[in-house]
Amino acid sequence: MKNHNHLNSVNIGENITNSLKHQDLSDRQELCDTGADESSGKIYHSSDRVKDRIRRMDDISPIETKEGLLNCRAMFFLILWYFFSGCTLFLNKYILSYMKGDPTVLGTCQMLMTTTCGFIQMYFPCGMYKPTQRLARPPGFYRHMMLVGCTRFITVILGLVALNYVAVSFTETIKSSAPLFTVLISRYILGESTGLYVNLSLIPVMSGLALCSANELSFDARGFVAAMATNLTECLQNVYSKMLISGDKFKYTPAELQFYTSIASVVVQIPASLFLVDLSGIQKTTDITLFCAFILNGIFFHFQSITAYVLMDYISPVTHSVANTAKRAFLIWLSVLMFGNPVTLLSGLGTCIVIIGVLLYNKAQEYDRLNRNKNAGNILNWVKPKIRTI
């Protein structure tokens, strides 16, 4: 009878632990595996296994260790991320609007350059991350890389098409609505649900976006659709890439994921470029200045992506998203000053509403996560005495 009760207690503990694990895949709190000492019948915790699991969870959703943005290296990579993002964005606009470059050719050059630079950085990290040795490729490797590569290709091309029709400020404002797409994609692909406060925080994001769309003097339906489609594919790419980067059995480094997906994107992009681009016309209009601008833009694009991944090692995803929002706000008004884009008062107000909405979204998401962790801890504290007394 004693053994029977003991087995029941172990089964109860395992069932409750498993249910709490599946409550939220993004929770950082990992419950200990529960077992029993056969000689004494006491509940024990496999600390070594838990430590290994927590170490893997640190890779999936890193908390702000290393003093967060107070760390000198973190601040350095944040500045680099802002710098290369601005260089890529404004050089995109300059090539498309003033040098009359082709969006498809520009996107192809970006993918070719990030493939080349990604291959180099896999073997020469330049102090950005610690390289790892791979013994074998995981199952479904080519399928995963092709899917992410296709989304990268679509994101780049549609983003450049949007810049060809609308102002930089308008494009960046639309991209600030990314949390809305992320919530929807995460819900249907990952099965993650959001709390009430998170859903309410999306209201100012959508209303501010509508205000900007209605009053932006450079509004163009084609640019608006392209920018919204870019948002959708970029969020899909980020969610899927997060699954690959956060894998327990196989985890990609930033350079690996960028290199392999860039190869897949190039494989898709080259046939599309041959179909969409007038090669004879491109040869006539492309001079040495435009060619050098394409190469320089591709290098900027690579370092923009790789610094964003590296920064995630130092700050939490919430802080990263807030920093991204601040970056977009900075680029919006910098584009107004540099290109002289006409912006109405309501457009400026709409931009502020979008930014405030995204900040509220991030705070609501953090509050929701803390509540789930607290509730999981309370349930575990209530269950442990019950298990021990059975």
Domain ranges of the chain: 2-57, 70-193+218-316
Average pLDDT over the chain, rounded to an integer: 70
**Residues 250/96, Cβ–Cβ less than 8 Å:** no
The pairing of strands 34-36 and 43-45 is antiparallel
Give the range among 28-42, 204-218, 297-311 with minimum mean pLDDT: 28-42
SS3 45: strand
> What's the pLDDT score for residue 295?
93
Q: Which residue has the higher pLDDT, 25 or 310?
A: 310
**What predicted TM-score, i.e. pTM, was given to this entire model?**
0.63
Which pLDDT score, from 0 to 100, does residue 296 have? 94
Q: Is 39 exposed, middle or buried (0-12, 13-18, 19+ CB in 10 A)?
A: exposed
For 98-115, the pLDDT digits (tens) are 888 888 788 888 888 888
CB contact at 8 A, 257 and 244: yes
Closest listed residue to residue 10, CA positions, set 30, 32, 29: 32
For 91-103, the DSSP string reads HHHHHHHTS---H
Tell me what pLDDT residue 84 has.
Answer: 92
If you search the block for the tokens 């993002």, which residue do you land on?
A: 85
CA-CA-CA-CA torsion sign (248, 253, 258, 260): negative
For the stretch 51-98, pLDDT in tens is 444 444 443 333 344 455 667 888 888 899 899 998 998 898 888 888
pLDDT over threshold 50, residue 277 = yes
Average pLDDT over residues 274-290: 77
State percent of the chain over pLDDT 70. 63
* Greatest mean pLDDT among 12-16, 50-54, 56-60, 275-279: 275-279
pLDDT at 300: 94
Q: What is the mean pLDDT of residues 352-364?
A: 79
52: helix, strand or coil: helix
Residue 47: pLDDT over 80: no
The predicted model gives 314-327 an average pLDDT of: 66
Does residue 42 have a pLDDT over 90?
no
Mean pLDDT of the region 306-333 = 70
**pLDDT given for residue 23 in this prediction:** 45
Looking at the chain, the whole-number percentage of residues with pLDDT higher than 90 is: 3
Say yes or no to pLDDT of 156 above 50.
Answer: yes
Predicted confidence band of residue 297 (pLDDT cuts 50, 70, 90):
very high
Task: Convert the pLDDT of each residue in 56-68 to its tens digit.
Answer: 444 333 334 445 5
Instruction: Read off the pLDDT band of 6 (50, 70, 90).
Output: very low
Q: What is the pLDDT of residues 185-242, one digit of tens each?
A: 777 776 766 678 877 877 887 777 667 656 555 667 888 888 888 888 887 877 777 7
Of 75 and 12, the one with more pLDDT: 75
- 163-183 pLDDT, tens digit each: 778 776 677 777 767 777 777
Buried b / exposed e across 171-205, counting CB within 10 Å, b at 16+?
Answer: bbbbbbbbbbbbbebbeeeeeeebeebbeebbebb
pLDDT of residue 24 exceeding 90, the answer is no
Over residues 296-313, mean pLDDT: 84
